[in-house]
Chain A
Amino acid sequence: MNLNDVTEHAGEWLRGQGPHSDIVLSSRVRLARNLAGFPFVDHADRRQRQEVLDRCRAAITAGQFGQDLLWVDLPSSPDLDRHLLVERHLISRQHAAGGPESPRAVAIGENETFAIMVNEEDHLRLQVLRSGMQLDEAYTQIDHLDDLLEAKLDLAYSSKWGYLTACPTNVGTGIRVSVMLHLPALRLTGEIEKVSRAARDMRLEIRGFFGEGSEALGDLFQISNKVTLGRTEQEILSDFQNVVVPQITAYEQQARQVLARQRPAQLDDKIWRAWGILTNARVLGAEEVLSLLSQLRLGVNLGRIQTVDIRTINELFLLTQTAHLQKMTGCLMDQGQRREARAQLIRRRLGAS
């Protein structure tokens, strides 16, 4: 497996399957771990970072992490590859941005179901991504990966504080559980604000999946836990499974029904306009595309449009991003060229050519 293979399609986590995948695009669990006896990454010198990297690499490549493991050394990777990995959510922006002098890497598991960042903010950041609502499955897998690492590495841990992390807000379980939700109807009805407030009251973080600000492009929201200490992994997971996700998905379903009942013409108009533009436009900007894809996705979920599947739309959210377009075309493009390439890709994938 190499980076060129991964470009043409999205990872498993966007395949549009799994329970409740009409609203829950994906489930993610992340664990933060550090090696005992070393300073945390930010405070470590180059030699120490290199040693951490070597040990982690040895532990990860020693087998048992699956056949098709891809190890990407980041300082020696071209900018475009690093951007690609960020767009695919396999590394963070911060991890991509570190200088050429800072030893760091990412190990990517088969079909991108897991990724292990080495020397990000913590020595090890493991993540498992799954399609749909599969937090249990994601946790089972990451717990196993963690066991495999722990069999080879001494992890920094104290009985009082749990797993010790560079930032005290991650200490304890070191777990970050998140779900990516598509909430177009709550946004159209303006009720998304209530959801955000409720989430914050529960000490959850809610933010847009794309972009830096609070605005959620494509109506895609990511909700994650903030508390990592004093609660077990199971308690944190069960909040999502029994409270957060069922309530928000039910709320979104309700809003969809209300829209379909009260403003059917306007709703259909939005959906069909999105279809019209996406299948005909010759020049498309990245942000515009996210919002049109969101409306199209809603149309497919409501059964208005039946010639496209959800997977195609999920993939387009990713493939129309800047680095993906350039990687697929095989050359660097300016903004104007990217807008043309984006429109062309969308027409092709939607069968309009």
Chain B
Amino acid sequence: MEFPDFFQFHLPTRIVFGKGLSADFSAELAELKVTRAFLVTEKFLHTLGIPERVMTALQAAGVAVAGCFDEVVPNSEVALCERGAELARKAGADCVVAVGGGSSIDTAKAIALLLSEGGRLLDYQGAQTLTRPLKPMVAIPTTAGTGSEVTMVAVINDPESESKISLVDRFLTPALAVLDPELTLTLPKRITAATGMDALTHAVEAYVDIESSPFSDALAAQAIRLVSKLLLAAVTEGGDVEVRSGMQIASTLAGVAFNHSMVGVVHGMAHALGGMCHVVHGEANAMMLPFGMEYNLDARERKFAEVARFMGIDTRGLSERDAALAGIDHVRQLNQKLHELAGLPTALSQVGVPRDKLASVAGLAMTDGSMFYNPREVVEDEVLGMLERAH
């Protein structure tokens, strides 16, 4: 057994789970002592009536809806966050409620920050620069994958510097996460598959990277078990609320895990593929995960063997290395099944990534913060090699 020299485990988010909970979480709202909520959400969710459901719940709990900002797009930009914060300020909001996927929650974090502290978003780039709590934030995820409802990180696009800025601060962590699996019942197959693979990637990377601890390991392990058991069913039987519950829980468990130990080379590549070629985050992770696992195999053989066991593989009689390899093979098979069932892409060429762009993607990936936490030093040539093999 080897324990880290130092680790911290801190979970400021109150996590509540329940079928239908997004329609009534008044008990939790009462404790936040807020009166005017500013909703941050995505336009298409109106067609499912999800923001409306949350607004009704807020009003029933005596919290006025100060505004509903539904302009969030995948990979929100600085200007959008600053405009949202301005609207929230004018509306006199004293709390921010995110309803949506990872981008909505990250945008809400940026809005809560600017609403509470003022200034420009770029002023807060860094790590733990805030010194006091922000106006409380509530996160209600409508996908099962991002984990952002329990993390201290917000990633926002900055077109001016052609990069993503990262805000990392414990005070950015939402005060309340409302997990309602009913919100994910109608999630299309391909999004279910992609977000589920994002959750699996969070868990696997959190489990092996340099900042992992016994606490993050325990949560990552359970997330891997749940995703491995339930993801295919979530795609084929999307209306099954038990299956959706398990995926929602797995996603949040993985979120808490990677909020502590961070992610690694797979996310580094996925962020670059998203930034330069607009590859959907979960799909990029799914395609790169087996390659990233192979890349790190030598550095974490025992842990990858454990990952294989969490995935439900019978590794009796196998060496640690063979067990680890069986786990990697399992991920490839899972991707193949998700391709057949949900149309998840299995190669970068299928999502319009031009081969001649791979070198610049590799270059951009090298500047990603995730690379620092990877268990093995990341080398640009080898990143390019992985991207080429995944093409």
Q: Are A and B a genuine interacting pair, yes or no?
A: no
> Hey, which bits of chain A sit against chain B, CB under 8 A?
none
Q: Residues of B with Cβ closer than 8 Å to A?
A: none
